[in-house]
Amino acid sequence: MAQVWKCSGLRWSAEGPALVWDGGRRSALPWGKRVAFAVPEGGVRTCVGARGHVCPVGAVVPGRSTGARCEECARLDRAHSVAADTIADDPRPYRVYLAWFGPGMVKAGITALERGPARLLEQGAVCFSWLGTGPLMAARRTEELLRAALRVPDRVPYAEKRAVRSALPATEPERAAELRELHARAVALTGWPESLRPEPCQVADHVGAFGLEGAPAASGEVVELVPGGAVRGELVAAAGPDLHLAAGGRGAVVLDTRLMTGWELLHPGPGPAECAFPAREFTREPDGLF
């Protein structure tokens, strides 16, 4: 019987992205690496559990779910989470940041100081700048201030990030311009918590880290994995949880690695570059009336 693997997701470090498998094994993902896997015929996607514990009922979860958790395990996973705003007494210092994903796509967020820029790599932020550092609740209040005063959201849908990634401004100054303008407006606001220390605008650009410069334009994205399906392709870029794969056809296809979790996967054997999972093309807005 062919050996099967279970993916735990994509992780970012100073060395770049890597796929992590159940048991702790890692597969580094340098540009040009061949990525190939298949879902066995008759395969079923099961809940990945919560906080290191297996799902007590082994629930089946939908193929299009990026969380790969049943309702109960999802609730348990978020029961003690900064992201879900269920922790108020974390003593660690936090940073408020502004992240840019493409023209008109800026969000505000917070991350623990000790994590450095890892959170921004995980979200696929093309550019970012720190805004301030302080206690958790001060960081949260600043995030709310930005949302109310400047209408800066705390989330940008991944589908929107992917659709513009292949048409970003060509230079770092162009990509940084919107962040610099928003940073200046943010620090000029009144009502900042006194315990939050403002930080100067220093825009970090991730185009190089993501391998986006010169990479083939992505034409679409995988929407789900299905039994009997497979993908074989060359890794040309990665951003956040997404792998950009040259997998035959026109341009590259984007695979959200969160869709891989919960499945038993196996090697598909030799074959041409292809993506045999359901996918949808990115739609472009027309340039004008004609």
Q: Given this model, what pLDDT does residue 265 score?
A: 96
Residue 258 — very low, low, confident or very high, per pLDDT cuts 50/70/90?
very high
CA pair distance 198, 134, nearest whole angstrom? 9
- Quote the percentage of the chain above a pLDDT of 90: 79
* 288 pLDDT tier (thresholds 50, 70, 90): very low
pLDDT digit string (tens) for 2-45?
Answer: 789 999 999 998 889 999 999 889 999 999 999 999 999 999 99
- pLDDT tens, 153-162? 989 999 999 9
CB 225 within 8 A of CB 258: no
| Interval 1-12: pLDDT, tens | 578 999 999 999
Q: What is the pLDDT of residue 102?
A: 95
Q: What is the pLDDT of residue 80?
A: 64
pLDDT of residue 286: 36
Beta strands 127-134; 105-112: pairing state: unpaired
Q: Has residue 128 got a pLDDT over 90?
A: yes
Structure confidence at residue 290 as a pLDDT band (50, 70, 90): very low
Tokens of 256: 């959200």
* pLDDT exceeds cutoff 60 at 117: yes
Residue 289 clears pLDDT 60, i.e. is over it: no
The per-residue pLDDT for range 167-223, each reduced to its tens digit, is 899 999 999 999 999 999 999 999 999 999 999 999 999 999 999 999 998 989 999
Averaged pLDDT, 136-141:
94
Farthest-apart Cα atoms in the chain, separation:
65
Around 18, how many Cα atoms within 13 Å sit in the side-chain half-sphere?
A: 12
